[in-house]
Structure 1
Amino acid sequence: MRSLPSQLAQRMRLIASPLALVAGLTLLASGCSSSSGGDADTIDDAASDVDAADGADTTAGANVVVNEISAGGEDWVELYNAGAGAADIGGWVLRDDDPTHVYTFPSGTILPSGVFYLLSRDPDIGFDFGLGAADSVLLYDGDLLVDGITWVEGEAPEGFSYGRYPDGTGPFTTLFTPTPGTANAQNPDVMCDDGVRAGLEVCDGADFAGATCVTYGFGGGDLTCVDCESIATSGCVAHAAALVINEVTSTGDDRVELFNNTAGEVDLTGWSLVDGGDNRWVFAPATKITAGGYLVLVKGVDHDFGLGGDDLVELRDTLDATIDTADWPDGAADPSWCRSPNGTGGFLTCQQPTFGSANN
């Protein structure tokens, strides 16, 4: 359902005696596959190495690092033992930038040399906190900070990960291809102005990932790609005078404002609002909006669905034809996503909501 380009968009083997299988985590040997077919090493092939590590010195030569994270939709953390010795990480703690968000590794968890450990968010195993667009992952052995990484918004967007290249030793960077539980892949070269949007490019030439001026709330016109980093709407033309979605917010009471920018009253009986999850709310009989008037709809009072940080709202008539759409990227409707100029302009993030009156 999303049409705006996004900028920046399991198992584990516990090493103990005997081996245990715990749902929610993955322990994979470097270069291994979770599949048991073919000649490649698999998790089962690594079991002998795992068994050999059990009971051995699990301190000397170990070097456990945070190797890769995903904070855009599916939250997971990958550890990697880049050292020559096995590491006993039982009792170690993983947390984010909130000290109350804590995951403790089970007793007897051994991470052999050269092995990736994938921890995916799962309340059933105690990893019940999410990773934010700007956040940290910190790994502790008691009071000792073993390793950690902090990222800012835009470095780990949806569809990408944030990780080291090369594994274990390289600096952190935005990785175009997430590789949970396996070796990180080097990013391919990206060339601006080749007409193909790739990597972290917002646009490239005429490639706007399907977005148009209408996507941004205008009546038509042409978008312009600026250095593959931003989209200019100066070539878009104003929306014609019409009944429009004029302002929305994805916080608090999820208000939706309609504005009748016509010279006549509009009867909304049988019309509906539809969000990005295809949830529909139908206007009650005799719902009308006067010429030049505003109608503000409030969650729990007028409509019954919540609006997400990355979502959309469509206004549809009695024939289910889409009359207008407000479509915003993650976080853009906080405080509000509104038309500027009021009623005819494109959408942008408004720092001062003006529900029930003209947008500033």
Structure 2
Amino acid sequence: MMKSAPRPLALAAASALVLVGLFAVPAAATAAADPAPASLRINEIETDGSPDWVELINIGAESLDVSGYKLTGRANEVTMTLPSDTVIGAGAVYVAEGGDFKLKKNDLLSLYAADGATLLDSYEWGDAHLDTFGREPNGTGDFVQQAAPSKGELNPEPSSDPTDPTDPTDPTDPGDAWKSITLNEITSANDDPHHDAFELANTGDVDVDVAGWQQTDSSSNPAPIDAPNGTVVPAHGYLELLSNQGLSSGGDSVKLYLADGSTIVDTASWGDNDAQPGSWSRCADATGTWVHTAEASWGASNAAACAGQIIPPSTPVDPVDCQTELPSGSGPAIAGGLAWPGSQTATVSDEECEFVTPLSGQDVSGLDIDPSAPRVMWAVKNKSHLYRLVKTDAGLWVPDTANDWAAGKVLVFPDGGGQPDSEGVTVGPDGSLYVTTERDNAASGIPLDSVLRFDPSEAGTTLHPTAQWVLTADLSDVISTEGSADANLGFEGITWVPDAYLTANAFVDQSTGSAYDPTDYPDHGTGLYFAALEKNGHLYAYALNADGTFHRVGSVDTGLPMVQETQWDADLQRIWAVADNSSAGSATLLKISADGAIVVDRIYDRPTGLPDNNNEGFAVAPSSTCVDGVREVIRSDDGNNGGHSLWSGTLSCDLALGAQGPVPPVDPQPGTPTPTPTPTPGPSTPAGGGSTPPGAGSAPAGNGSAPAGTGSSPAGLASTGTAPLPWLAFGAALMLLGAATALLRRSRRRA
């Protein structure tokens, strides 16, 4: 017969097991950030109905049981669960609707598997209701506005009939007839039925069908027109459309495109309250100057309105011979900002209409002063154009006339074509220029977040990249990498930060959770490239390898909700992050903290005398140029207001900044006993605001780059302080077992 253990030993063993159970650390749960491969897709969406509804399609070859699958809407935080026994046949559609499931403007619709965690599909849209939007072709294509809802049925497939190039009303091949269409009247008022409306005029002799054409305001991506009155503009007639984006009474613009989303038909801008009450109207029709008429004239000539009361405009419209764009999307400054540490006034520092190209007369987005030549500055337009600027004795920055730079140079992709939406520029340690893109403007509805490298010494008027790092897929945890939702919210500025600075201050590599070691990336050069992502206001640090591969080392929360520019300041040993008018021109200065994270050191307000325009570019002259304790700082206006894009002011050369990086140990005073070291938690959360970098604990995301670390738990996450607990439990268990053994021996001796 088996003897039971003596009571003291049994109690000790049981206690040890309880302790181990109490101190066990549960495995961390994970959820997929990207849509999982699935045969169930969102196919059509109605957000302006009663009720709203979502059509799903099974693109697989077999029937699919979708019982318990879930649809969520971000804006109202609503969830709809598909009922039990719901089966969708192969190639069939299913309509999900419910009275409480309401979708809004600026919403995100997501489709999840029954576990509520596996994301299968999603679609995000801007400041307009979808009435209705569907995929063309069904299940796999992009979302486009439907001519009519096809609820519960397959969406009409795109026409495969050949176009007739002689038919001027054919929207897919309109010939030259579209050139007779102009914007004629606009209102930003919200009164139905003309809320946020605009009117087209046709000066030609034939009707023009604008079906499939696209429109946007000053800050959104082109999207299909909203045409409640039909799509045909009669010869010598008028057609009223509704804006697919809300139009701001404080100043905005309407841009009309052909169906390709890139060919501009016409554009018009207005200032504060110029488009209401009444209308912003052309006097005379189609060709005249834009004026604020007290009366509207929808669907008819503006003649009567133009003969009536004219309200003086708040802002002169296009007072110069080049295209301008009023600021839009303005937001408040970042709380806690200090006064700008330099001049509060700003002066124009370029020549009028200096940056006109065949594609645009504005759009100067990124700046960088050449560290080897402080009187040379590079300026990039987000219409695939780059300028080498030199500073004159009068203090102006003008295009260099040497080596074919007089009119700037065209930028292309590696295949020699395309129109890079070039947003930021930095000079690398090799003298090459590194330019960020967020899309190809020839296909503006598709994100293409990449870094292009150019040799500025290349002869001719076109620069061909010597390398490209395509980073779009690596950002799938942040942006929608398909469709147009985030095509204009990608990379903006870029800057190069030397390894020497990062290692001297014990910068933490988020992909390993340890101090950054440049030898982990032997082909990356001597520093990291920090690219500014507009959508979330973060900087993304990359090791760009010579063979075209890359590795994301971390992300940095700049303290800005959206960021347009970043600059490494070698003199301050800090990184600048700068917002445009989305945050009233606020700027943050970043440092490396004691635990190796890049954090906000200071917040600065925009200089009070600098116009709150779409100031996207930012460059700081080196301290070698300091005069009377200040150096030049330049900002570029993406809208070219008044015909100028560059504004210069000053920055104090000494900002009295404190230390950064690890805190040096303090030597104990003589006679002071040295304290016994105690276990401390692991490293704090790396720079990036707690986001988990791709590749943590596995192969890192990024073009085949080698893993930076292994292990089952994500590297680079903040320590919870629980790692030593299992060892403490084990030790406690051993102590209890030892006590029990002693008791047992004592009991045997008594016996």
TM-score range, shorter chain: 0.3 to 0.5
Larger Rg: 1 or 2?
2
TM-score by length of 1: 0.39
> Which structure: greater helix fraction?
2
Which is bigger in relative contact order (C-alpha 8 A, separation at least 6)? 1
